């Protein structure tokens, strides 16, 4: 079928709105008419070729929409269902069978390879195949080809355009606190970076009952929003020694910390602010080859450092929980969102990088 998509044709290049052909759905695939798609940091670093994803490519991995067609073997969703799209996995390796799909042994090839696992293209233009299948969706488009296994059915009374970011950024930040760190009531946590992922972590810390919630950022407006969303303390990293300030607030240090920035110097602060036996979760995505250096004794005395992919979430189980928290007014993630028309995707990307928008969401044409 013919559809419109935002194509990146050169490293760091503009998103070019083009007419493309979407392949027919295979037995386990579905066609989703995209209502909206969030712009995530991962989309922008792939555009800039921090990861060697083949170009030209259609990105987008925080899509929400309505199922339009289904393959012959699909049983979990039907035409007309409202869905949120998330990451894909092989579903057969030992990690997929025993844990969250973010640790699938084929994670990179499946989500960043630009083609289906068998090498076939899902998109094509006048000059030939265009890479897509990004996170098994490529949702910077009017239509996406997904799998029944990487979508989450949601209630039709929900405002569909809000929920795409739950497929990645919101799920990652909230899941890091709830699933990965399993933050306990009465504990302390420091969140470095008050973007969409970090502020989702702040809201999740409130849900978990953390009593000391410290947000660190360099944008005053984001720190103010962190306060509104439940942070008990905020630190401006431009003017303050963050580690010293956190120790002044939390005594011996925090029980937990999260780095969402992927800046090595900031990640080191997230480790050094921990109390003994504290745990730091690294959530941000740096360029391939980035090294993190820490002072040996920072981890010698029982501190834990671990990477976190996708908030250790199984989307089909976790997203409905976040939606229920939102319905109850306990997880107001919609305060992070700023809407843009699909045609303004470059402006939305610019505003995300400039810190002018926390979570840009593209509205697709009707």
State the number of CA atoms in the 13 A half-sphere of 248 facing the CB.
9
242, 275: one domain: yes
59, 142: one domain: yes
Alpha-helical regions (H) of 189-339: 196-208, 220-228, 242-250, 264-272, 296-300, 315-327
112, 220: one domain: no
Q: Look at residue 217 and tell me if it is in a domain.
A: yes
Residues of the chain falling short of pLDDT 50? none
Amino acid 52: pLDDT: 87
182, 64: one domain: no
Q: Look at residue 359 and tell me if it is in a domain.
A: yes
User: What are 36's strand-pairing partners?
Assistant: 64, 363
CA pair distance 358, 166, nearest whole angstrom: 14
Q: Look at residue 324 and tell me if it is in a domain.
A: no
Q: How confident is the model over 286-344, as pLDDT tens digits?
A: 988 999 999 998 899 999 999 999 999 999 999 999 999 999 999 999 999 999 999 99
Q: Look at residue 320 and tell me if it is in a domain.
A: no
Q: Look at residue 326 and tell me if it is in a domain.
A: no
Count of Cβ atoms closer than 10 Å to residue 273 Cβ = 27
Amino acid 298: pLDDT: 87
Phi, psi of 144 (to 5 degrees): -130, 145
Supply the CATH number for residue 51's domain.
Answer: 3.90.180.10
24, 138: one domain: yes
Pairing of strands 82-85, 151-154: antiparallel
158, 220: one domain: no
Q: How many domains is the chain partitioned into structurally?
A: 2
CA pair distance 363, 163, nearest whole angstrom: 12
- Domain final residue, candidates 266, 294, 309: 309
Amino acid 33: pLDDT: 98
CA pair distance 122, 145, nearest whole angstrom: 7
CB 200 within 8 A of CB 169: yes
Q: Look at residue 237 and tell me if it is in a domain.
A: yes
Q: What does R_g of the chain's alpha carbons equal in angstroms?
A: 20
Q: Which residues contact 118 (CB under 8 A, 6 or more apart)?
A: none
Q: Look at residue 263 and tell me if it is in a domain.
A: yes
186, 295: one domain: yes
CA pair distance 108, 89, nearest whole angstrom: 9
User: What are 339's strand-pairing partners?
Assistant: 361
Q: Look at residue 314 and tell me if it is in a domain.
A: no
CA pair distance 217, 47, nearest whole angstrom: 25
Amino acid 12: pLDDT: 96
Q: Which residues contact 265 (CB under 8 A, 6 or more apart)?
A: none
Whole domain around residue 256: which residue ranges?
173-309
221, 256: one domain: yes
163, 178: one domain: no
188, 152: one domain: no
> Is the Cα dihedral 301, 285, 324, 191 positive or negative?
positive
CA pair distance 304, 63, nearest whole angstrom: 34
Supply the CATH number for residue 237's domain.
Answer: 3.40.50.720
177, 112: one domain: no
CA pair distance 57, 117, nearest whole angstrom: 16
197, 76: one domain: no
């Amino acid at each position: 079928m013919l559809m419109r998509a935002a194509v990146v044709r050169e490293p760091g290049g503009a998103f070019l709105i083009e007419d493309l052909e979407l392949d027919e759905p295979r037995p386990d695939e579905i066609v989703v008419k995209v209502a909206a798609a969030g712009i995530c940091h991962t989309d922008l670093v792939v555009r800039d070729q921090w990861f060697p994803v083949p170009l030209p490519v259609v990105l987008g991995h925080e899509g929400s929409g309505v199922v339009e067609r289904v393959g012959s073997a699909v049983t979990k969703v039907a035409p007309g269902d409202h869905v949120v799209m998330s990451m894909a996995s092989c579903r057969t390796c030992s990690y997929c069978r025993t844990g969250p799909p973010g640790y699938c042994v084929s994670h990179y090839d499946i989500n960043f390879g630009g083609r289906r696992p068998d090498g076939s293209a899902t998109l094509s233009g006048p000059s030939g195949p265009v890479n897509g299948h990004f996170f098994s969706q490529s949702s910077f488009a009017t239509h996406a080809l997904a799998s029944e296994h990487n979508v989450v059915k949601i209630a039709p009374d929900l405002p569909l355009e809000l929920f795409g970011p739950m497929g990645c950024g919101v799920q990652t930040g909230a899941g890091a606190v709830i699933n990965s760190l399993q933050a306990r009531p009465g504990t302390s946590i420091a969140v470095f970076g008050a973007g969409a992922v970090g502020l989702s972590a702040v809201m999740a810390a409130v849900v978990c009952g953390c009593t000391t919630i410290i947000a660190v950022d360099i944008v005053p407006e984001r720190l103010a929003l962190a306060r509104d969303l439940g942070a008990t303390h905020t630190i401006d990293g431009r003017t303050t020694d963050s580690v010293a300030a956190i120790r002044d607030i939390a005594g011996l240090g925090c029980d937990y910390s999260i780095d969402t920035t992927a800046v090595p110097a900031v990640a080191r602060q997230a480790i050094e602010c921990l109390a003994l036996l504290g745990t730091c979760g690294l959530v941000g995505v740096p360029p391939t080859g980035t090294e993190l250096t820490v002072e040996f004794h920072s981890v010698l005395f029982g501190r834990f450092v671990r990477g976190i992919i996708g908030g250790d979430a199984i989307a089909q189980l976790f997203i409905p929980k976040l939606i229920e928290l939102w319905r109850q007014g306990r997880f107001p993630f919609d305060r992070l969102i700023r809407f843009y028309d699909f045609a303004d995707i470059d402006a939305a990307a610019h505003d995300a990088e400039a810190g002018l928008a926390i979570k840009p969401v593209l509205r697709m044409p009707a």
